[in-house]
Amino acid sequence: MAAELASRQLERVLYLVPRASGPDGASIAELAAEMEVSPERILRDIEEVTARDYYHPAGWVADLQISVEKDTVTVWTTGELRRPVRLSPREALALALGLRLLADGSEGRRREELLSLAGRLDHGLASVPAEPMTAVFALDGGDPHGNGLLALVRNGAAERSRCRLAYLKPGQTEPEGRLVAPYALVFSRGHWYVIGHSVEADAVRVFRLDRVLEAEPTAETFEIPSDFDPADYVEEGAVFQAGEEVEAVVRYSRSIARWISEREEVEENPDGSVVVRHRVADPRWIVRHVLSYGPEAEIVEPAEMRDLVRETVAPERHAGG
């Protein structure tokens, strides 16, 4: 624990020093936000560095001089430590795996470019190349089986260009053509969703990526409205179509309660089962959801959704799947 703490402190200090060694120093609040720690933590780190002056012998020239004024820290160095250090083995591994995730969602030449870049950055920026460590990982970034859809839509979101989608809703007989301005991509519970403006509906809609059968980029550009906030389409870790949802109460049996409790807000029953209140925009979604758990999940209410499960299952009793 102590070693871990020291290692994190060292990483912070080796970043903080070059950041604050410019003529204007650096804001402590900004440093804290960048490093995701409290300003007090940053001040304690600084204190520990400056305290080195007390135990060094007389005549020793401090390699680092740090001053804190109001909320700004300024560092003077003897010339060293004014650059960030190379990527650590774990940072290099994160970069290598991140590029492999992007490559997983790309095809052909683009995929090769990303893999080649991964090799170049690994050897150029890392203190120790991560390549030997990557062999024990296999990654699937959630792009539906490497079709390149995720990369295409991400690119549309980054470049602010619309995408044309062939979208197949569950239960539909034909895919629908949609011209969509992808505002944000959201990963939730094993699926990627595109939240974007649908030209056809003239409204923001949510699309599940694995239901996109085809996609192509267009040259049409868009701007994201200033009042758009993806958080409006997210609640308790799930994505939903804002404004159209109803509550569905689902009971999960004791045998799977442990797993449900880890990912949902649950109400516990005396028999060990748990209840979850889902906000549902599409009743077909909740039907598929409970059926995916077989008899271990049951819609408690509303009655119309129970009816829907019964109607869905009835033909199966005769058809045999």
Partner 1 sequence: MTEKITKLQRWLDLIAFLIGRRYPVSVDQIMEAVPAYAEGRSDDPTAVESVRRMFERDKKELRDLGIPIETVDYTVRGAEQTAGYRLAGRDFYLPYLRLIGGGTDAPTAEPGAGGTQRADAFDIRPGEARDARDALSFAAAMPSFLLREEARSALRKLAFDLGPGRPDAVLALDRPEAGLVRDRLRVLNDALQARKRVRFRYHGIYRGKPTDRDVAPYGLLFLGANWYLVGHDALRDAERVFRVDRMEDPEPNRKSPDTPDYVVPEDFDLNDYRNREAWELGDGEEAGLVARVRFDFPTSLWVERNRYGELAESAEDGSTVRSFQVQQVNPFLRWILSLSGEAEIIDPPELQREYLDLVERVAALYAGDR
Footprint of partner 1 on 298-317 (CB under 8 A) = 298, 303, 306-307, 309-310, 312-317
Question: Is the CB of 164 or the CB of 289 nearer to partner 1?
Answer: 289
Footprint of partner 1 on 44-83 (CB under 8 A) = 45, 48-49, 51-52, 55-57, 63-64, 77-83
Residue whose structure tokens are 């060694």: 21
Question: Is the CB of 84 or the CB of 243 nearer to partner 1?
Answer: 84
Residue 40 sits in the site that holds partner 1 (CB under 8 A) = no
| List of E strands, 6-48 | 26-27
Residue of 38, 40, 67, 140 that binds partner 1 (CB under 8 A): 140
The Cα 179–Cα 197 span in angstroms is 8
Nearest approach, Cβ of residue 83 and partner 1 (Å): 4
Residue of 71, 131, 175, 281 that binds partner 1 (CB under 8 A): 175
Residue of 199, 213, 275, 281 that binds partner 1 (CB under 8 A): 213
The Cα 276–Cα 301 span in angstroms is 11
Nearest approach, Cβ of residue 314 and partner 1 (Å): 7
Q: How far is CA 123 from CA 22, 92, 95, 161, 287, in A?
A: 28, 9, 12, 34, 50
Q: What residues contact 172, with CB distance under 8 A and at least 6 apart?
A: none
Nearest approach, Cβ of residue 108 and partner 1 (Å): 15
Residue 128 sits in the site that holds partner 1 (CB under 8 A) = yes
Q: What angle do CA 95, 183, 278 make, to 5 degrees?
A: 95
Nearest approach, Cβ of residue 118 and partner 1 (Å): 8
Q: Answer whether the bond into residue 302 is a cis peptide, omega within 30°.
A: yes
The Cα 235–Cα 294 span in angstroms is 25
Q: Answer whether the bond into residue 175 is a cis peptide, omega within 30°.
A: no
Residue of 65, 72, 146, 241 that binds partner 1 (CB under 8 A): 146
**Span interacting with partner 1, options 66-74, 150-158, 199-207, 242-250, rule CB under 8 A:** 150-158
Residue 227 sits in the site that holds partner 1 (CB under 8 A) = no
Residue 23 sits in the site that holds partner 1 (CB under 8 A) = no
Residue of 108, 145, 223, 226 that binds partner 1 (CB under 8 A): 145
Footprint of partner 1 on 234-273 (CB under 8 A) = 234, 237-239, 255-256, 258-259, 262-263
Residue 180 sits in the site that holds partner 1 (CB under 8 A) = no
Nearest approach, Cβ of residue 124 and partner 1 (Å): 5
Question: Is the CB of 70 or the CB of 223 nearer to partner 1?
Answer: 223
SS3 141: coil
Q: How far is CA 128 from CA 96, 125, 284, in A?
A: 12, 9, 51
Name the nearest CA neighbour of 151 among 212, 95, 204.
Answer: 212
Phi and psi at residue 182, to the nearest 5°: -75, 110
CB 151 within 8 A of CB 116: no
- Amino acid at the residue 132: P
Strands 161-167, 176-188: pairing is: antiparallel
Residue 218 sits in the site that holds partner 1 (CB under 8 A) = no
Question: Is the CB of 107 or the CB of 296 nearer to partner 1?
Answer: 296
Nearest approach, Cβ of residue 204 and partner 1 (Å): 14
Residue of 26, 46, 99, 152 that binds partner 1 (CB under 8 A): 99
